[in-house]
A and B are shown apart, each in its own frame.
Chain A
Amino acid sequence: MQQLTRLTTFPFLLTTALACSGCGEVVSTAPRIAVSRISHWSMPAAGPQIPAPRGLAFDSNGDLFVLDDAGRILVFDGAGTVKRHWSMPESDVGNPEGICLFQDGRIGIADTHYHRVVFFDRDGNVLTMHGELGEQPGQFVYLSAITQDSLGNYYVCEYGGNDRVQKFDVDGNFVVAFGGFGTDDGQFQRPMGIVWHDSLLYVADAINNRIQMFRDDGQFVRVLGPEADRPRLHYPYDLSAGTGGDLFAIEYGGNRVTQLDLHGNTLGTFGATGHGVGEFSTPWGLAVDSTGRIVVADTGNRRLVELQR
């Protein structure tokens, strides 16, 4: 009888063993995000360099605005063809990391290594720049991401020891700063992505491997996800709101896209480490358009990956 018991429990043990064989890494048991077609878009060369894409943003026409590490802003049409591009005013020291298309038509760029926000018009003309190196209100160390709320206020993430989020009104006046460097609730280690949704800010706290929620007045709400079952993220570098009240995160360390609901439950994942189709290498940014199409800045592979759903 004992033998029989062992026989019937064997499949269970085998399944458990197989499931545990991946322990130690972030192993996803979430379903795969349904993708009907994967396309690769090449980055145009910049001199002898094949630049790496970083920040992405869609406009209402479906055009994709891309920041790359050659200090360029490129505009791709829906088919992946470059319509136009222009360069940052300066990029010798380093290149920008965050982009946001403002409701009034301006393009806001987090000019990371120049410690400022640069505003362009849609033709690539510089409108204004504000910010300088420092840790006071309105000053920045390294800017990493920028987003805007429905009232026109905008929020800028920064890192470099002064890891925080600053809120500015539509005219660029400082409103509030929140966060700080650390691992406690409300603190950040390299906040790399930010998205505003329904009066709440979702911040990709990259090195702490979590997404934190704040009210738009800077009040900490909570870490996204049930405490006992937080989404397992590995360096979330960017966030984008989906069309169905969901969130998409791109994981620099996990090399995948993770879809979450607003409670932090993982709805699906897509991607693996590598150079092939359906694989990513240190992806930096992502954007989701109004049709649910996802584009990933596959930074290490120097390409954009379009995921049609």
Chain B
Amino acid sequence: MTALDVFRTAFPSPRRPLRRRDLLPIALFLAIFGGGCVALELAGFVLFVRPQAFFLTIAPVWIWWMFLAGATGLSPARANTALWIRFVMAAGFIVALAEPRAVRTSETLSVVYAVDVSDSVGTAAVDSALEFVARQVSEKPAADEAGLVLFGAEAVVELPPRITFPFDGVVTSQVRRDATNLSEALSMSAAMIPAENNGRIVLITDGTSTEGNVTSRLDELQARGISVDVLPVNYQYENEVWVERLELPQQVKLEQDYEASILISSLGETTSTLVLRENGRVLAKSAVALRPGLNQFSLPVRVDEPGYYEYQAAIEVPDGSDNLSQNNATENFLFVEGTGRILIVTAPGGDSREWQPLAESMRRDGRIVEQQDAFGFPDSPLALMPYDSIVFVNVPVNAFVPAQLRALQNAVRDVGLGFLMVGGPDSFGPGGYHRTPVEEVLPVSMDIEQQELLQKGALVIILHTCEFADGNTWGKRITNQAIRVLSGHDEVGVLVFDKESDAEQWLFRLTPAASFPRLVTLVNRARIGDMPTFATTMEMGLAGLNQSDATIKRMLIISDGDPSAPTNQLLDAFQQAKITVSTVTVSPHGESDTASMKRIADATGGTAYTPNNPAELPAIFVKEARTLKRSMIQETTISPQPGTPSSLLNSLDETPPLHGYVLTTLKPRAESVLLASNLETDSATTAAAPAPILARWKYGLGSTAAFTSDLTTRWGRDWLRWQNFDSAISQLMTSLSRVRKTAQLRLWTHISSGEAVIVAEDFSDSAQRPDGGFTELAAIVNGPDNFSATLSLQQVSPQRYEARLPLPGQGKYQVIVLGSGNGRTETTTGGFIVSYSAEYLRFRSDPIMLRQIQERTGGQLLTINSPADDVFGDRLPRSSTRPVFDWLLITLAILLPIDVGVRRVHLDWSLIRNSLFRRRTNIQQSTLGSLLVTKQQTDSQLESSRSELSIPQRTQPPSHLTTGSAEPTPRQLPQKNEPADAQSTTLAKLLAIKRQQQEDAGSQPDDQHDGNS
């Protein structure tokens, strides 16, 4: 097939010669299409990314040609409609391929105020900055947008850019203020500016950045056309005193005098008082004269007993000689190893009978036992170094702060301390340890397999906006803590007055607390508004709780108490449903608010809390949530049975009965020493395994155990009288206690030039041989806020290894060094203390950095009195584009069935017309009648046509056999037999065409035959 044949196939000859008016449709289309596209682009409404796609305009030309060449069989009007629909579809495809983008031009200016709230700037400067922002925003053009970003160590969005600026003058976001990250501040601010608007950032800062790379951000801002106006916070301290370092001897012997070396820097000359404290006790205090520069002082220290000693060197400076108080003290520690001890941790204000029998038993075994309440438990693993084991005796989780629990976890996992939890009503699940680091450490889980023994709880929390600093953040945090405490099958729901929709709504309906991670996300995203009444949310909560199948149902309301109180009828409904409502009144406007909240609690049997400060809130929420978990306490008599064969307690007689325990679930790899196998409740009928009474496992380097009953007269009275009680306790504590090995690996740490330097020295004899040292040394560094880092130590001299860590944030850091190689494995522990952040070593602002930011982004320098016009003044129209491909696809999807419909579907307009005008009955009847008449006529026509056509076909022999005539069969034969009016119907036309084709097909062989004969 030649190209010409292809062309002729693609463009067949027209049925008739072209007339001038045949060109009209294509000419019209090309004019509209081409002109329209060009006009849209020139007018700036649309931008075509791939204009080369317009070469495909040949396609509509082909459609037009095929329209002329083909036989559609349609009336002229429908044929033209179909042609134009195809033109439009083709145009749609071409435009879609040209990737059109709608162009939007905006003169709206979005300004994001980025305010530095770090400690180096100071609260007075932050207050001035916020006043500046409020004044400017209140004077801005109504159509422009303003937003607020606050930054310190990280940047947070206080208000996204909008035409409204609902700022109450109180910062609600929580920002770490002990560092400055200008880079993140600029990045976050730029991200908040809508792409279609003109953007501007007003940066209010001192320009000192302790984290992040500002320069790279400036390039991004330039690329986006966002200018940064700068309002500098200028300061230069002439007087500043700071404690650089407290150096202690690396090795000490008991009862010998040593010196602590203290390095103090000062910008000016002044006299001060130097104080050295040991574990909080003043050890020495002396007046010192400070000269500009570095000053060194020495004070005596002496250690008489083994243990952990924390020293603090603090300088007390006269007024006017100092600006930053955060850098006036530094800490260091000494650890003198001795006989390991056991630390028993009890509930603050708890009953000594809870722990005394246990402590006395341990002491009879020759162990050194210390007792401390949870408030005094260390929050750093460093201070736990003197202990071999830690024992929690019936102490609830809300007595601790998270850092204390993490310190315990680190000490057990990385140092090898032993840990035992002894049960009681405030331990394990009822103590609130679900989903805590302590649960991770223990060999038992608080998710209960024996669900049938538990009563399901349901808790609804109503969160009203809390009108105190960080109030809503507090509300969210404590709600999350309350949910965390719940068991997985307990249900929890949260109701708020949503700030966006301005309506009371479920943040999430009653949901199993097992969905904790998802629920936490929802709580953190909540936009809590000011609800006018408690009634609506309480009604919603009541309805939700009534639908729940939980056994224990509670509601908790946190509010300032000023929404309207619920009616007595509503409170009665709570009473009838046995749902208690506890209330927490925070920052009330007056006594009547407190009374209103108390009325709700009293009427429903709940508790009314009026905490004096927000720090009390978590304990309240956790306490309320824990009340749902009382059913985890099984106060029934059991005879503990041995579980898996264990070396523990194996030499002892049968254990005495216990009269209660806390339900827990044994973890998969844990060793079940004793099990509660003969419950009064028939646990044999349950598929779940018996609950553990005593379980043990290895967690990291340490061993931990859970004793789910207690050792008091409450549940364990028979154990206290048991002749083997001391032996059992002795065996248990021996199996848990840290195993101390004499190590030849020593560790030193110090801080130098913004880095923590970790030095390990190998004193073993074998290390002196060339191939006798460690082949691998690694250091694990654990610190506050879940900080953890692993470093590899490099050999810097014979037997000496070193690693450096960029100084993390303020806090106490534990270092564990593990050496291995040549058949030796040794561990040693130490640590370092970062007393204050580098933020507190900035004594003047950085105008050079601020000028660089301003100049590179084309911004301007502002003053505190700059009017709003300076920021919201001139701006250029800004164009942005967005794809419109989706709309074209939708258009084509709509046109496609229309195209088919126009060609294939014949509409009876009279039927539609009649149905629209509601002449339904008569019309239907007449329509049906007319259809029947039409059918009969058609049938008779077909019959007569068939009879006339079939006779010659059946009786006539093939024409080439009977005649040699080339004359075609007369065509008028069937036509003259058709009714005249049938000519006009589509059916008749189709029949005529069909017959014509049959005749043509029948006559063609004759022609051929004749031609060949």
A93 CB contacts on chain B under 8 angstroms:
589-590
Smallest beta-carbon distance B470→chain A, Å: 16
Report the minimum CB–CB distance from B112 to chain A (whole Å): 16
B596, A161: Cβ atoms closer than 8 Å: yes
- Nearest CB of chain B from residue A129's CB, rounded to whole Å: 17
Q: Is A15 an interface residue (CB 8 A)?
A: no
Can you list, as one digit per residue, whether each of A41-68 has a CB less than 8 Å from chain B (1) or not (0)? 0111111111010000000000000000
The interface-forming segment of B126-134, B189-197, B951-959 is B126-134
A59-92 at interface with B (beta carbon < 8 Å): none
Which of these, B166, B592, B924, contacts A161 with CB under 8 Å? B592
> Nearest-CB distance from B607 to chain A (Å)?
20
CB < 8 Å: which of B169, B535, B599 contacts A46?
B169
Whether A282 lies near B590 (C-beta < 8 A) is no
Does B565 lie at the interface of the complex (its beta carbon under 8 Å from any beta carbon of A)?
yes
In angstroms, Cα B530 to Cα A182, docked, is: 22
Shortest Cβ distance from A69 into B: residue:
B168
Instruction: Tell me, yes or no, whether B499 is within 8 Å of chain A by CB.
Output: yes
Give Cα A235 to B564, complex, Å.
12
Are B133 and A48 within 8 A (Cβ)? Answer: yes
The stretch that binds B, out of A216-224, A262-270, A299-307, is: A299-307
Known contacts A189-B567, A207-B564: A50-B529 contact under CB 8 Å: no
Which listed residue, A40, A50, A161, touches B137 by the CB 8 Å rule? A50
Cβ-defined contact, A189 with B535, below 8 A: yes
Which of B134, B502, B535 is in CB contact (< 8 Å) with A207? B535
Choose the segment among A1-9, A100-108, A171-179, A287-295 that binds chain B (4+ C-beta atoms closer than 8 Å). A1-9
- Please tell me if A133 contacts chain B, counting CB pairs below 8 Å: yes
Q: Which of B164, B532, B593 contacts A235 (CB 8 A)?
A: B532
Task: Determine which of B167, B536, B592, B924 lies in contact with A141 in the assembled complex, contact meaning CB atoms within 8 Å.
Answer: B592
The reply to whether the CB of A276 lies closer than 8 angstroms to some CB of chain B is: yes
Say whether A182 contacts B567, CB under 8 Å.
yes
On whether the beta carbons of B592 and A142 are closer than 8 Å, the reply is yes
Known: A49-B169, A50-B165, A189-B535. A42 touches B142 (CB 8 A): yes
**Are B564 and A183 interface neighbours, CB within 8 A?**
no
Verify if B138 is at the interface (C-beta below 8 Å from A).
yes
Q: Is the pair A50, B589 in contact by a Cβ cutoff of 8 Å? A: no
Determine whether B895 belongs to the interface, using a CB cutoff of 8 Å to chain A: no
**Distance between Cα atoms of A33 and B647 in the complex (Å):** 85
Q: Which residues of A contact B918 (CB under 8 A)?
A: 8
Q: Are B589 and A45 in contact (CB under 8 A)?
A: no
Check: B764 CB closer than 8 A to any chain A CB.
no
| Cβ-defined contact, A161 with B164, below 8 A | no
Cβ–Cβ < 8 Å partners of A168 in chain B = none
Query: In the complex the two chains form, is A7's CB within 8 Å of B131's CB?
Result: no
With a 10 A CB-CB cut-off, give which of B166, B502, B532, B920 has the most chain A CB atoms: B502
> Is B168 a contact partner of A7 (Cβ separation < 8 A)?
no
Give A216-243 interface residues, CB cut-off 8 Å to B.
235
B134 touches A302 (CB 8 A): no
A94–B589 contact, CB under 8 A? yes
Interface membership of A273, Cβ < 8 A? yes
- How many residues on chain B are close to A (CB under 8 Å)? 50
Decide if A48 touches B130 in the complex (CB within 8 Å).
Answer: yes
What CA separation (Å) do A141 and B593 show in the bound complex?
A: 10
Contacts of A52 in B (CB 8 A): 166
Within B167-184, the residues touching A (CB, 8 Å) are: 167-170
A40 contacts which chain B residues (CB < 8 A)? 142, 163
Q: Contact: B567 with A183, CB < 8 Å?
A: yes
Contact in complex: A207, B532 (CB < 8 Å): yes
A273 in contact with B502 (CB, 8 Å): yes
Contact A189 B137 (CB under 8 A): no
- Chain B residue nearest to A25 in the complex (CB): B503
Q: Are B533 and A48 in contact (CB under 8 A)?
A: no
CB under 8 Å from chain A, chain B span 788-843? none
Residues of A within 8 A of B127 (CB): 48
Check A255 for interface membership: any CB of B closer than 8 A. yes
Contacts of A133 in B (CB 8 A): 590-592
Chain A residues near B166 (CB-CB < 8 A): 50, 52, 281, 300-302
A202 to B682, CA, bound (A): 67
Q: How far is the CB of A276 from chain B (nearest CB, A)?
A: 7
Interface string of B900-942 (1 = CB under 8 A from A): 0000000000000001001010001000100000000000000
Give residues of chain A (143-191) contacting chain B, Cβ–Cβ below 8 Å: 159-161, 163, 181-183, 189-190
Best-buried of B130, B138, B499, B593 by chain A (most CB within 10 Å): B138
> For residue A94, which residues in chain B have a CB less than 8 angstroms away from its CB?
562, 589-590
The B544-573 residues at the A interface (CB cut-off 8 A) are 562, 564-565, 567-569
* Residue with the highest number of chain B CB atoms closer than 10 Å, among A8, A94, A160, A189: A160
What's the nearest-Cβ distance from chain B to residue A66, in Å? 14
- Interchain CA distance A206-B564 in the complex, whole Å: 10
B535: chain A residues at CB < 8 Å are 189, 207
Interface size of A by CB at 8 A reads 47
Report A103-141 CB contacts with B as 1/0, cut-off 8 Å: 000000000010000000000000000000100000001
Residues of B within 8 A of A160 (CB): 564-565, 592-593, 596
Neighbouring B residues of A183 by C-beta, 8 Å: 567, 569
Inter-chain contacts of B592 with A (CB < 8 A): 133, 141-142, 160-161
Shortest A131–chain B CB gap in Å is: 14
A141: min CB distance to chain B, Å: 6
Contact A300:B499 (CB < 8 A) given known A113-B589, A207-B532: yes
> 1/0 per residue A189-206: CB within 8 Å of B?
110000000000000001
Decide if A253 is an interface residue (CB 8 Å cutoff): yes
List the A side residues contacting B878 at CB < 8 Å.
none
Chain B CB within 8 A of A252 CB: yes
Q: How far is the CB of B630 from chain A (nearest CB, A)?
A: 33
CB of A4 within 8 A of CB of B138, answer no
- Shortest distance in angstroms between B539's beta carbon and chain A's nearest beta carbon? 11
CB distance from B203 to the nearest CB of A (A): 18
Check A43 against B590 for contact (C-beta < 8 Å).
Answer: no
B755 close to chain A: CB less than 8 A: no
Distance in angstroms from B430 CB to nearest chain A CB is 37
Interface residue? A275 (CB, 8 A): yes
B140, B163, B565, B920: the one within 8 Å of A4 (CB): B920
Most chain B beta-carbon contacts within 10 A, residue among A49, A161, A181, A206:
A49
Most buried by B among A5, A8, A302: A302
Most chain B CB inside 10 Å of its own CB: which residue of A1, A141, A207: A207
| Other-chain contact of B567, A43, A44, A181, A273 (Cβ < 8 Å) | A181
**Smallest Cβ distance from A259 to chain B, in angstroms?**
20
Q: How many Å from the CB of B129 to the closest CB on chain A? A: 8
CA distance A46 to B164 in the complex (A): 16
Q: Does A8 contact B924, Cβ atoms closer than 8 Å?
A: no
Q: How long is the Cα–Cα vector from A235 to B530 in the complex, in angstroms?
A: 13
Q: How far is the CA of A48 from the CA of B569 in the complex (A)?
A: 43
Q: Least Cβ distance of B696 to chain A in Å?
A: 56
Minimum C-beta distance from A279 to chain B (A): 9
Given the known interface contacts A275-B163, A282-B529, A301-B164, the answer about A50 and B134 at a Cβ–Cβ threshold of 8 Å is yes
Asked whether B502 lies within 8 Å of A300 as measured between CB atoms, the reply is yes
* CB of B52 within 8 Å of the partner chain: no
Give complex CA distance A205, B127 in Å: 40
B169 to chain A: closest residue by CB: A49
- Docked-complex contact A189 and B564, CB < 8 angstroms: yes
Do the beta carbons of B924 and A50 come within 8 Å of each other? Answer: no
What residue of chain A has the Cβ atom nearest to residue B569's Cβ? Answer: A183
Task: Offer 14 A-B interface pairs, CB within 8 angstroms, sorted by A.
Answer: A1-B924, A1-B928, A8-B915, A39-B142, A44-B138, A45-B138, A47-B131, A49-B169, A50-B137, A183-B569, A253-B502, A255-B502, A273-B500, A300-B166
Give the 9 A-B CB pairs with smallest separation, nearest first: A49-B169, A48-B130, A45-B134, A48-B169, A301-B164, A40-B142, A207-B533, A45-B138, A190-B564
Apart from A50-B165, A300-B502, what are 19 other A-B pairs with CB-CB below 8 Å?
Answer: A1-B928, A39-B142, A40-B142, A43-B138, A48-B127, A48-B131, A49-B167, A52-B166, A159-B564, A161-B599, A181-B565, A189-B535, A189-B564, A206-B533, A207-B532, A252-B532, A255-B502, A273-B500, A273-B501
